[in-house]
Amino acid sequence: MSNGLLPLEFLSPGQEAVIKEVAGGMSLRRRLTELGLVRGSTIKIIRNDNFGPIIISLGNGTGSGRLAIGRGMAHKIMVEMVKEV
Amino acid sequence: MGIAALAKPEREKVIALVGNPNSGKTSIFNDLTGARQHVGNWPGVTVEKKEGKLGYQGQTFNIVDLPGTYSLGAYSEDELIARNFILFDKPEAVINVVDASNLERNLYLTIQLLEMGANVVVALNMVDEARARNIEINIPRLAQALRVPVVPTVATRGEGIKELVATVAKQIQESTCRPLKVNYGREIENELDKLEQIIKQDAKLAMRYPARWLAIKLLEDDERLEAELQKEGSRPVLEAVAKSKKQLHEILGEEVEAIIADRRYGFINGLVKEAVIRHQTLEQRLTISDKIDSVVTNRYLGLPIFLLAMWAVFQFTFKLGDPMIGLVESAFESLKGLAAGWLEALGAPQLLTSFIADGIIGGLGSVLVFIPPIFLLFLAISLLEDSGYMARAAYIMDRLMHALGLHGKSFVPLLIGFGCNVPGIMATRTLESRQDRLITILINPLMSCTARLPVYVLFTGAFFTANQGWVIFSLYLLGIVLAIIMGKIFKTFLFKGETAPFVMELPPYRVPTLKGTLIHMWERGSSFVRKAGTVIVGVVVLIWVLSNLPLGVAYASQESLIGRLGTILAPVFKPAGFGTWEAAVALVFGILAKEVVVGTLGVLYGVEENGLTAAIAHSWTPLSAYAFMVMTLIYIPCAATIAAIRRETNFWGWTAFAIGYSLVLGWVMAVLVFQAGRLLGLG
């Protein structure tokens, strides 16, 4: 799945990805922008139980920032995988 | 006495504190101001305004703590307050608290501050944590790139605070601020230049706003500013903006707002690349926080751990609080005796003595006994919050709360409501969406607080001794079920529209500092006492007056106004099975505080509390007793809760709504219980 985009929701813990597109309205995008989730930002999945919110880290996990993202929102964030586990 | 002391005192200079939530802003504020703090409200809104004084070399600075925000748009009350303060109150300096271990996102706010032309000093906080994560920040380089002073701090240990103060003082004196320019790319810059020129021709606008900043904001679709310009009739500017936006959209093929955000982050990324070195460890290891999280937020362990933590909070609050409640009670009891004795000795009229002793002191006492558990509960909550666990609790509960159409964050206030609705309602402040917050406030009184317990104990003791526990449990459950139903109804009919998306920061776990936690507890607890106090005194006085008029009647007898009121109200409760004037009066007094129902019935039946069980067993039936307990659970929140609702919604309309709907719901439920029971032959 080299160049394909997929929703953030489907990533597993440990995987890293780059945000390519946010398929939501402007208010959703604004909220994400404030929190540092914009196109081009790298994120790493810390936890994904396949139900409930997903925990991700900004960057490759070295920083301390952790965000919990609701599943509905994670469905609208399209990413490109950069590192498999 | 030096010369400096003789010099004329200058106007007090204002320093504003700005920063992301969880950046350690509060710690810096505490470090700067110590105990010299003052909490008030921003005019017209419910957001708290914290101010404090800082003395430095004979000058006094007024420190204003602006709400924690990620951005300075106008999309939330908090952001707007922070932005307007910087634009219009023009603080002499702005300390921007930045979390060093989370630099990119924090700098997004910094850039916006700089674009507004604020006189910024960056407090690069938590540098110790960044270092522990192998993040090395070249501070001079960062300062050079941002063109403002950057001071490293560790606020929790007070490190770097002296340097910060000295730097800010120097910055205020020199006041050399040159607005930073992010390059938004040739196309956008061209339009910005054009817009700037047009804005500058509008004298009123140009005086009010920095031209470039306004141009950027208008391209970013800032509804607030657009509306203002519309009102002010700045037609040429708006037309030019619309034209620019259209043109840019055509060239760039995308929303301008998104591109501006991208460029800003691009600028930040470039800056971070230059000033920050991240030493990659060979293996990306999980942080300690992540390790704790893997247990605490585990899909199987998360919920039990959370329940255990809550159980511990309640044990802590009420086991420790109970003896203190006793102390407050006896303190008020002896105060009452003292005041009465003293007034009688002075020859004061009997009515005045009764007013002060029974009315004011007795009434205040019945509410203020809650101070110990409230303070303890706030202490426990502050600990959970400052340690970072609260955010995890919201994460865990989000799954369940979704069924309610609410967020995980709404759960904590509801849970606290089981202890006392007042701190429960105050805890809704952590909710970002106003809708969610209002719903959570409105359903909070349905959480059966500890003050209702004495009523349940009395009536179940009289009628349901065999299965007392289960009967009481059923009332708690009823409250929860009704809260779920009402929450759904409010959501559907009052607050249409989509649920705010759930994204929230999970700050790294930290050991809370004693000072920080105590200040936290004190702020919340004391603000409850001050604000609730006024409303409570009002209700207390009203009830006392009603109990004593017309002159010469026995206190709270059937002939007194309140007795007559009870007699008038009694038929209303007949369908619910407790249509006696005593029950009606007890319910009226219960508004003061729910447990007062018990004491009132004691007075009205003319028996001490231990004889009350027998008196009740004599004149009630099990069914009417259960209906009465249902009524006590649901009808009108107590005076302190009413005060809290008024304070937190900042609107009498919602307060009246909360009173009205709970009264109707309580009556309907009590009648339903009684009539259904009778049909089943239980009456």
- CA-angle at B465, arms to B462 and B468, nearest 5°: 105
Strand order, beta sheet including A66-69: A6-7, A77-83, A16-22, A42-47, A54-58, A66-69, B503-505
Q: Closest chain B residue to A27 measured between Cα atoms? A: B75
Question: Residue A21 belongs to what domain range?
Answer: 6-81
Tokens of B608: 């001490």
The residue from B154, B174, B194 where one domain ends is: B174
Interface test with B, best of A26, A28, A42, A66 (most B CBs within 10 A): A66
The runs of H, that is alpha helices, within B175-222 are 186-201, 203-208, 211-219
The residue from B110, B142, B174 where one domain ends is: B174
Beta strands B120-125; B37-41: pairing state: unpaired
pLDDT given for residue B637 in this prediction: 93
**Is residue B359, in this structure, part of any structural domain at all?**
no
Distance CA B519, CA B540 (A): 30
Q: Dump the DSSP string for B552-589.
A: TPPTT-TTSHHHHHHHHHGGGGGGGT---HHHHHHHHH
pLDDT given for residue A3 in this prediction: 58
Minimum distance, in Å, between the CA of residue A48 and any CA atom of chain B: 10
Total number of domains constituting chain A: 1
Chain-chain contact of B290 with A46 (C-beta, under 8 angstroms): yes
The CATH number of whichever domain residue A49 belongs to comes to 2.30.30.90
Q: Which residues contact B270 (CB under 8 A, 6 or more apart)?
A: none
Query: Is the distance from CB of B420 to CB of B374 less than 8 angstroms?
Result: yes
**Is residue B492, in this structure, part of any structural domain at all?**
no
Do B37 and B169 fall within a single domain?
Answer: yes
Distance CA B318, CA B109 (A): 42
Do B145 and B215 fall within a single domain?
Answer: no
Do B169 and B205 fall within a single domain?
Answer: no
Amino acid at B634: I
Tokens of A14: 């440990």
**Is residue A47, in this structure, part of any structural domain at all?**
yes
Q: Is B606 left (phi over 0), alpha (psi -120 to 50) or beta?
A: left
Do B190 and B50 fall within a single domain?
Answer: no
Interface test with A, best of B411, B506, B509, B510 (most A CBs within 10 A): B506
pLDDT given for residue B134 in this prediction: 82
B423 SS3 class: helix
Q: Which residues contact B115 (CB under 8 A, 6 or more apart)?
A: B179, B180, B182, B210, B212, B213, B216
pLDDT given for residue B108 in this prediction: 93
Do B202 and B54 fall within a single domain?
Answer: no
Do B37 and B162 fall within a single domain?
Answer: yes
| Residue A26 touches partner B, C-beta closer than 8 Å | yes
Distance CA B86, CA B117 (A): 9
Distance CA B148, CA B170 (A): 12
Chain-chain contact of B395 with A61 (C-beta, under 8 angstroms): no
Do B116 and B18 fall within a single domain?
Answer: yes
Do B163 and B243 fall within a single domain?
Answer: no
Task: Report which of B171, B216, B305 is spatially closest to residue B163, judged by C-alpha positions.
Answer: B171
pLDDT digits (tens, 9 = 90+) for B41-77: 666 555 677 889 998 988 899 999 998 889 998 777 7
The runs of H, that is alpha helices, within B48-183 are 77-84, 103-115, 127-132, 139-146, 161-174
Amino acid at B328: V
**Is residue B52, in this structure, part of any structural domain at all?**
yes
Do B72 and B154 fall within a single domain?
Answer: yes
**Is residue A28, in this structure, part of any structural domain at all?**
yes
Q: Dump the DSSP string for B592-629.
A: T-TTHHHHHHHHHTT--HHHHHHHHHHH--HHHHHHHH
Total number of domains constituting chain B: 2
Task: Report which of B530, B447, B438 is spatially closest to residue B428, judged by C-alpha positions.
Answer: B438
Q: Dump the DSSP string for B4-73.
A: HHHSPPPPPEEEEEEE-TTSSHHHHHHHHHTT-EEEEE-TTSSSEEEEEEEEETTEEEEEEEPPP-S--S
**Is residue A54, in this structure, part of any structural domain at all?**
yes
Do B121 and B191 fall within a single domain?
Answer: no
**Is residue A1, in this structure, part of any structural domain at all?**
no
Tokens of B664: 């109707």
Q: Of the candidates B75, B297, B508, which has its C-beta nearest A64's C-beta?
A: B508
**Is residue B478, in this structure, part of any structural domain at all?**
no
Regions of chain B short of the pLDDT cut 50 = 1-8, 282-283
**Is residue A59, in this structure, part of any structural domain at all?**
yes
B496 annotated ligand binder: no
Do B54 and B79 fall within a single domain?
Answer: yes
Q: Is B621 left (phi over 0), alpha (psi -120 to 50) or beta?
A: beta
The CATH number of whichever domain residue B154 belongs to comes to 3.40.50.300
pLDDT given for residue B467 in this prediction: 86
Q: Of the candidates B75, B284, B506, which has its C-beta nearest A55's C-beta?
A: B506
Q: What pTM does this model have? A: 0.77
pLDDT given for residue B181 in this prediction: 85
Do B165 and B104 fall within a single domain?
Answer: yes
pLDDT given for residue B109 in this prediction: 94
Q: Which residues contact B483 (CB under 8 A, 6 or more apart)?
A: B414, B443, B446, B447
Hey, which residues does B97 pair with through a beta bridge? B19, B123
**Is residue A48, in this structure, part of any structural domain at all?**
yes
Burial per residue of B225-240, b for 16 or more beta-carbon CB atoms within 10 angstroms, e otherwise = bbeebeeeebeebbeb
Q: Of the candidates A28, A55, A61, which has its C-beta nearest B284's C-beta?
A: A61
The residue from B217, B236, B253 where one domain ends is: B253
**Is residue B526, in this structure, part of any structural domain at all?**
no
ipTM for the assembly: 0.88
Distance CA B206, CA B214 (A): 9
pLDDT given for residue B122 in this prediction: 96
A48 SS3 class: coil
Question: Residue B99 belongs to what domain range?
Answer: 13-174
Beta strands A6-7; A16-22: pairing state: unpaired
